[in-house]
Chain A
Amino acid sequence: MGILDKKLSLRNRSKMLVGVWEDEDKLVEATSALVHDGIHIHDIYTPYPVHGLERIIGARRSRLARVAFLCGLVGFTLMTTMIWYMYVLDWPVNVGNKPVRFTPSWIPVMFEGTVLCTAYGMGFIFFWRNRLLMGVKNDLLDERQTDDRMVIAIECVDGMNESDVLNTMKSNGAVELRELNHGVQTTI
């Protein structure tokens, strides 16, 4: 899948530790404990937004708002050009003696075009970045992570005590622990 950012794919990772939770509060506690131990968390996958998680792992602000602004700008330009071409350049029509240049009647077209492009652009780019777009092979760490389970993924780095990490996850309510190796998961 060349269309995707390689960074986001989990299949190319050499070794990762994966913990699965069923309880939101325990997940937050486990995350706090891991961050407290100085472990770098690769990402957390939850079926719905869990309040406070993003602050604990120090996630950056989503850039989706900028994407939305750019999509809106594209839509605005596209629709303005379109209506200008149709209404002024190609086929000027005298409607009730209204002037053939920019008029208030253009505004609904420009507005709707902006909204349309923003909504669709945001939606598609969001799913694309999350590998959930149709046709993209997703790499869900757990079949139920889009349903009722929450997953923490930690990349193994030099000097990390793996058994300590596993113990922390286990003692904080992980229902399953796995190891991920180039896309292949093995239960620990």
Chain B
Amino acid sequence: MGHGHHIEIKQETFVIPARAKQFSMIFMVVGLILAGIGIAKIDKSAAGHDEHAKVEAKAEGHESHEAAKGHEEHTAAAEHHTEEHANVMTEKFGPRMEYHTIEHPWQTKIWANLLVAGYFFLMISLASMFWITIQYAANAGWSAAIKRIPEAMSTFIPVGFIVLLISVFIAKNDIYHWAHYEHLGLKPGQEGYDKVLDGKSGFLNSTMFFVFPIVLVTIWMILGRRLRNLSVQEDNGTKGDITFHTKSIRTSAIFAVIFGFTISFMAWFFIMSVDAHWYSTIFGVYNFITHWVTAITIIALLVAYLKSLGYLSIVSNEHIHDLGKFMFAFTIFWAYIWLSQYLLIWYAQIPEEMYYYQIRFEQYKANFLTNLVMNFCLPFALLLMRSAKRNRYVLGIVGTIMILGHYHDVWFMVFPGVFGPGMQVGFLEVGVFMFFAGLFLIWTLTALTKRGLIPVNHPFIEESAHHDVGV
């Protein structure tokens, strides 16, 4: 655009306000205290949860299987159907093991919480990296001014990954059924042999479980670091020099392709393998979209926050409006993917697909509905109006609901699968989330101080400063 008023583009240096520091410190300390209360409150006497402990002794196949899940209520028709089908399945594949003996039940609760937190924050930092790369790959101009915020968020990748790795390294055999089974080393025909797990063991084994994600995260981190370095070099270069921009586009394209094909592995290894007998082809997409919409929400909230502090002078309500549209659009997309997974499983009524939803719907109805309300119904209704998307306070409230809702979503994917019925969000969950939220916030804000807040030599920075979505 050659017309319109002139907007001066000048570099800004971010200094973390004392209140933000205090806020995140308080968050972390309160989180630790709450987590401590949560740990103290766990019943440590239980050597294992009776209702799902002894499923492994199952030479009788479906009798003990049914006895173990006797607490679950079915409708008469569904039970009849499921039972018949279960018999067929038992003959065909051997009896299913749903839950295994957890040797360290109360420690496992802590590690599973760390698994959820590490995975959640790793995935949102990866998603923010991906956000930058698609802006480059699509030659998007409007987002140039807010590019530094996802860049700063993506520096959290190693922290989240280390937390995730520690938790699964220590508690792998208790969290993952298949890892427990792997140690038994059963051959076909032996008692307790599980055809499904044996069939998956080529992919789902301890070597792959550690090597694959480490290799993938290393590749993503190298490409992400290169992208961030190019961004700094561009700042230090001269205006009008597009060599770094061209390199960034190339790196972004490589990252986007690799990431698109491999992000599902994270979901398969760390979350889906909790329910190792389960089949769902859309689970990787579902996990990606959960974290993608959360990452966009956090970007929007951080932009609004920096704006309220007086930074990002070239960012206007137009950018915030566009981020609000992103939040709204991907909220609907999340619901679309959620329904796609649920609907097919509901319709087909195949036991080895259905038990994932059976326990979640019958034993965790409140969580099941909360998940839908927090992640779809509320954001959809509240963000529908244009004025809502342009209002920082509305975005702040809806964004907080969405972040909490999606964290709960990840918790909900893991806990019923690991522990069976009877889990609830308590002090430990809230404490762990608060601790990592505080850490993520202070980490991101610190990363923002390391470089200028505005990519002044970005070729599209003028376009971004004049961004206008119209009346």
Contact = CB atoms under 8 A, between A and B. Distances in A.
Interface of A: 25, 28-29, 49, 51-52, 54-55, 59-62, 65, 96-98, 104-105, 107-108
Given A52-B468, A60-B471, A107-B343, A96 B3 contact: no
B78 A104 contact: no
A51 B77 CA distance: 62
Contact of B471 (A54, A98, A104, A108): A54
Nearest to B384: A69
B2 interface: yes
13 contacts: A25-B2, A29-B3, A51-B470, A52-B468, A60-B471, A65-B386, A96-B347, A97-B77, A97-B78, A104-B342, A104-B347, A105-B343, A108-B343
A-B pairs, 10 with minimum CB distance: A54-B471, A28-B3, A61-B471, A97-B77, A25-B3, A104-B343, A25-B2, A51-B468, A104-B346, A52-B4
A67 to B, nearest CB: 14
A98 to B, nearest CB: 8
A107 B2 CA distance: 48
A65 B343 CA distance: 30
Nearest to A32: B3
Interface string B370-409: 0000000000000000100000000000000000000000
By size class, the interface of chain B is 10 to 19
A61 B469 CA distance: 12
Contacts of B200: none
A127 to B, nearest CB: 19
B219 interface: no
A100 to B, nearest CB: 13
B92 to A, nearest CB: 20
A14 B343 CA distance: 61
Interface in B338-352: 339, 342-343, 346-347, 349
A49 B468 CA distance: 12
Interface of B: 1-4, 77-78, 81, 339, 342-343, 346-347, 349, 386, 466, 468, 470-471
Contacts of B3: 25, 28-29, 52
Contact of A59 (B4, B468, B471): B471
Contacts of B343: 104-105, 107-108
Contacts of A61: 386, 471
Contacts of A107: 339, 343
Contacts of A97: 77-78, 81
A28 B349 CA distance: 62
Given A98-B347, A104-B346, 18 more contacts: A25-B2, A25-B3, A28-B3, A29-B3, A51-B1, A51-B4, A51-B466, A51-B468, A51-B470, A52-B1, A52-B3, A52-B468, A97-B81, A104-B347, A105-B343, A105-B347, A107-B343, A108-B343
Contacts of A52: 1, 3-4, 468
Contacts of A59: 471
Nearest to A58: B471
Contact of A55 (B2, B78, B471): B471
B74 to A, nearest CB: 12
Nearest to A96: B349
Nearest to B343: A104
B222 to A, nearest CB: 39
Nearest to B345: A104
A54 B81 contact: no
B188 to A, nearest CB: 33
Contacts of A62: 471
A55 B471 CA distance: 7
Contacts of A25: 2-3
Contacts of B347: 96, 98, 104-105
Contacts of B342: 104
Contacts of B466: 51
Contacts of A54: 470-471
